[in-house]
């Protein structure tokens, strides 16, 4: 008995030793020592935690941003839209000293773009803060020192006319491509005549990310006695030393991007957890506010080396060859020089591509603590954290964040899926009819390059209820130890382990419906009966038997097929008479072909075409769904006995043949 107790304690200790907690924040890694980029992150307000900067109206918030870029489409390696601020002149910006938009936002009124002799209407600037901030005043002022060529002090050289528009987010209509000037949103100023050297434009506090300023032509440009006529060829009037933007409150987004962490060994990743505190400002104090409209979003990516990019140099034949990051940065020259694109040749930088062989792509944002990361294992890890707020005077403090890790079960687990009756599809991609049941073969193989003790179970995310057909190992059909057919996944426990020196792989055959235009049969392997972390299955070439080399399946819609399939009732006769028997009808159906959740409504029609009832079923994703109707109309009264027509209606652009079913109502 003592031996059994000792063995159980030893096993529990071994499992606990398998799982570890990687942590940042709190008493672990210091946030400020571990970042590679931050936008409006406050490291000092709460020791060991991070939170958004609470913007003070006493100074221009433009000074809170660093790394301003002068082009609308910056060419620097580190530029990421929505993380790096920009200030560009005209349609695309310029890096020259007479046209550099960053001089207008640097907080130094002695660095500015002097007036030129072009048409004033051609001068406009766009400021992109990268994130929306609560703003209530925009302004600009003349340089305090220096003189124009005609002897006029810059300090007196007020802009004669201007307009300013703002936007909380970017719009492709004016943000993409080479576009002529256009307003970007609400106009906060349209001034035909101005004499003020220090301009202040007040507007109601609101979130602002983009500001666009335009110099306009005024009668003052050609006023009697002026030597600055637009037509004279001399520099037009108006000098701006700096732009300013004032506001107060928490930004809508504050961004923290970590450095790439070296974990020291290859591990699997489990659940992502964090501790966060919502706060609201009351007077001069911060108080906990569980009802505040704030939140945390965390994205994760994992890798097998220290750099997620692959760098290239042009060869003497115009091709490209891989080089190190150091060689790319320090030795090679950019193709862009003085605003010109030069012909590629050896010694020039070529493309940078993402190393998807060794790095996962960024995960979808995690919005709730405790979710499984579900990314392949690796030796390196990077985080991108967004602290969000929809209240000017509320924010969220992120105290700490931690991730479960455990040793790999295998150096790699590779999987591919194909239709049983079309194992070698043309183009290498399985295609099935949306909403129609099909039988799939799912092959997996474990690779053990000196890493991993193996596994004995596989879990496949089918997206709909699957029916297990058979299990094959080493070319023979075997009986599984256990099979669990869940609502959206299928789990199979193998009769023998896939491990070094043991079985190499397995094939799971199952039938299921595909409701998405593109569905990935993601999966993971694990040890049944133990608490070790599962390991994701990576798409790849498992064997010559299947010809897809991947886990994705395309759902193909028929020409006349609509977005609703498999509409059925729990009873063909609804009897809402209060006896608890068929007082309500359960309406089952499937949504097909939607890439994201859509709003769905239930409509009931009389035989003359009148709609007698409607129910909002909320937002629903593709796949099997359930709705209910209690026999009542839109006013809550029972409908008269008779025959009715029921329809499920997704509110979406995709249309097709309507699917209607008749239902009898009797008392």
120 domain residue, yes or no: yes
pTM metric for this prediction: 0.78
Q: Are 100 and 114 in contact (CB under 8 A)?
A: no
632 domain residue, yes or no: yes
Domains in the chain, number: 4
One domain for residues 511 and 595: no
One domain for residues 47 and 60: no
- CATH number of the domain to which 81 belongs: 2.60.120.260
More confident residue, 70 or 227: 70
68 domain residue, yes or no: yes
One domain for residues 489 and 624: no
Q: Give pLDDT, residue 16.
A: 46
527 domain residue, yes or no: yes
7 domain residue, yes or no: no
- CATH number of the domain to which 602 belongs: 2.60.40.4070
Q: Collapsing DSSP states into helix, strand and coil, what is residue 32?
A: helix
One domain for residues 232 and 105: yes
One domain for residues 299 and 383: yes
148-205 pLDDT, tens digit per residue, is 877 889 999 999 999 999 999 988 888 876 778 999 999 999 999 999 999 999 999 9
One domain for residues 41 and 168: no
Q: Are 605 and 658 in contact (CB under 8 A)?
A: no
Q: Tell me how far apart the alpha carbons of residues 431 and 419 are, in angstroms, rounded to a whole number.
A: 8
One domain for residues 63 and 207: yes
**Among candidate residues 502, 528, 556, the one where a domain is terminated:** 556
The model's confidence at residue 507, banded by pLDDT at 50, 70 and 90, is very high
**Among candidate residues 248, 265, 286, the one where a domain is terminated:** 248
Of 161, 302, 260, the closest CA to residue 220 belongs to: 161
174 domain residue, yes or no: yes
361 domain residue, yes or no: yes
One domain for residues 27 and 144: no
Cα radius of gyration rounded to whole Å, the chain: 32
Q: What is the mean pLDDT of residues 1-13?
A: 38
**Among candidate residues 556, 575, 591, the one where a domain is terminated:** 556
At CB < 8 A and 24+ separation, what contacts does 313-316 make?
313/346, 313/347, 313/348, 313/349, 313/350, 314/344, 314/345, 314/346, 314/347, 314/348, 314/349, 314/350, 315/346, 316/345, 316/346
One domain for residues 429 and 531: yes
One domain for residues 201 and 264: no
User: In which order are the strands placed within the sheet that holds 320-323?
Assistant: 320-323, 309-314, 349-354
One domain for residues 431 and 500: yes
- CATH number of the domain to which 41 belongs: 2.60.120
Parent domain of 426: 412-556
Residue 629 Cα distances to 212, 565, 584, 618, angstroms: 52, 18, 6, 14
Q: Which residues contact 13 (CB under 8 A, 6 or more apart)?
A: none
348 domain residue, yes or no: no
Q: Tell me how far apart the alpha carbons of residues 464 and 433 are, in angstroms, rounded to a whole number.
A: 15
* Beta pairing partners, 552: 520
481-495 pLDDT, tens digit per residue, is 999 999 899 999 999
One domain for residues 31 and 146: no
Check pLDDT > 90 for residue 391: yes
Q: Tell me how far apart the alpha carbons of residues 432 and 401 are, in angstroms, rounded to a whole number.
A: 42
Q: Are 490 and 411 in contact (CB under 8 A)?
A: no
Of 257, 207, 306, 339, the closest CA to residue 80 belongs to: 257
Check pLDDT > 70 for residue 331: yes
Would the CA dihedral through 75, 80, 84, 86 be positive or negative? positive
The model's confidence at residue 6, banded by pLDDT at 50, 70 and 90, is very low
- CATH number of the domain to which 474 belongs: 2.60.40.290
Q: Give pLDDT, residue 557.
A: 64
The model's confidence at residue 558, banded by pLDDT at 50, 70 and 90, is low
Check pLDDT > 60 for residue 225: no
Q: Are 416 and 548 in contact (CB under 8 A)?
A: yes
């Amino acid at each position: 008995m003592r031996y059994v107790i000792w063995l159980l304690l030893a096993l529990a200790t071994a499992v606990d030793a398998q799982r570890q907690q990687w942590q940042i924040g709190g008493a672990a890694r210091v946030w400020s020592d571990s970042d590679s980029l931050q936008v409006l992150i406050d490291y000092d307000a709460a020791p060991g935690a991070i939170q958004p900067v609470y913007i003070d109206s006493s100074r221009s918030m433009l000074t809170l941003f660093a790394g301003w870029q002068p082009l609308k489409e910056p060419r620097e390696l580190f530029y990421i839209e929505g993380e790096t601020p920009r200030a560009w002149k005209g349609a695309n910006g310029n890096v020259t000293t007479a046209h550099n938009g960053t001089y207008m936002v640097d907080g130094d009124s002695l660095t500015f773009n002097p007036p030129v002799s072009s048409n004033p209407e051609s001068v406009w600037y766009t400021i992109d803060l990268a994130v929306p901030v609560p703003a209530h005043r925009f302004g600009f002022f003349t340089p305090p020192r220096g003189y124009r060529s005609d002897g006029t002090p810059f300090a007196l050289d007020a802009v004669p006319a201007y307009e300013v528009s703002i936007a909380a987010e970017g719009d492709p209509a004016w943000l993409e491509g080479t576009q002529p000037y256009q307003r970007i949103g609400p106009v906060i100023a349209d001034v035909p005549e101005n004499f003020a050297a220090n301009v202040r434009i007040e507007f109601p506090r609101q979130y602002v990310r983009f500001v666009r300023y335009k110099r306009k032509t005024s009668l003052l440009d050609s006023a009697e006695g002026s030597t600055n006529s637009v037509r004279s060829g001399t520099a037009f009037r108006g000098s701006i030393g700096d732009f300013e933007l004032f506001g107060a409150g928490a930004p809508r987004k504050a961004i923290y991007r970590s450095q790439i962490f070296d974990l020291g060994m290859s591990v699997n990743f489990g659940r992502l957890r964090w501790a966060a505190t919502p706060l609201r400002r009351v007077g001069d104090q911060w108080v906990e506010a569980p009802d505040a409209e704030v939140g945390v979003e965390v994205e994760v990516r994992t890798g097998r080396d220290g750099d997620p990019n692959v760098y290239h140099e042009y060869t003497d034949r115009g091709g490209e060859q891989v080089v190190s990051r150091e060689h790319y940065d320090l030795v090679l020259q950019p193709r862009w020089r003085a605003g010109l694109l030069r012909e590629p040749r050896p010694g020039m930088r070529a493309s940078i591509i993402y190393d998807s062989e060794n790095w996962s792509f960024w995960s979808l944002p995690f919005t709730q603590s405790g979710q499984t990361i579900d990314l392949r294992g690796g030796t390196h890890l990077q985080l991108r954290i967004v602290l969000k707020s929809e209240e000017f005077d509320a924010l969220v403090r992120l105290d700490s964040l931690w991730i479960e890790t455990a040793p790999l079960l295998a150096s790699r687990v590779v999987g591919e899926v194909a239709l049983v009756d079309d194992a070698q599809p043309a183009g290498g991609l399985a295609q099935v009819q949306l909403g129609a049941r099909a039988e799939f073969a799912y092959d997996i193989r474990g690779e053990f390059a000196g890493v991993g003790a193996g596994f004995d179970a596989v879990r496949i995310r089918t997206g709909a209820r699957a029916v297990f057909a058979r299990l094959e190992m080493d070319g023979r059909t075997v009986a599984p130890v256990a099979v669990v057919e869940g609502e959206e996944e299928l789990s199979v426990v193998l009769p023998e382990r896939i491990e070094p020196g043991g079985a190499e792989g397995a094939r799971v055959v199952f039938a299921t419906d595909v409701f998405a235009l593109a569905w990935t049969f993601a999966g993971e392997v694990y040890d049944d009966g133990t608490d070790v972390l599962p390991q994701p299955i990576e798409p790849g070439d498992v064997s010559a038997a299947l010809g897809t080399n991947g886990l994705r399946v395309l759902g193909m819609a028929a020409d006349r097929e609509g977005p609703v399939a498999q509409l059925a009732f729990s009873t063909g006769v609804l009897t809402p008479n209060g006896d608890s028997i068929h007082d309500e009808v359960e309406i089952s159906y499937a949504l097909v072909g939607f890439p994201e959740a859509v709003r769905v409504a239930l409509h009931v029609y009389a035989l003359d075409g009148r709609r007698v009832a409607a129910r909002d079923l909320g937002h629903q994703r593709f796949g099997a769904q359930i709705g209910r109707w209690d026999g009542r109309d839109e006013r809550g009264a029972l409908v008269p006995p008779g025959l009715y027509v029921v329809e499920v209606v997704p509110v979406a652009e995709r249309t097709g043949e309507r699917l209607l079913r008749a239902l009898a109502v009797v008392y």
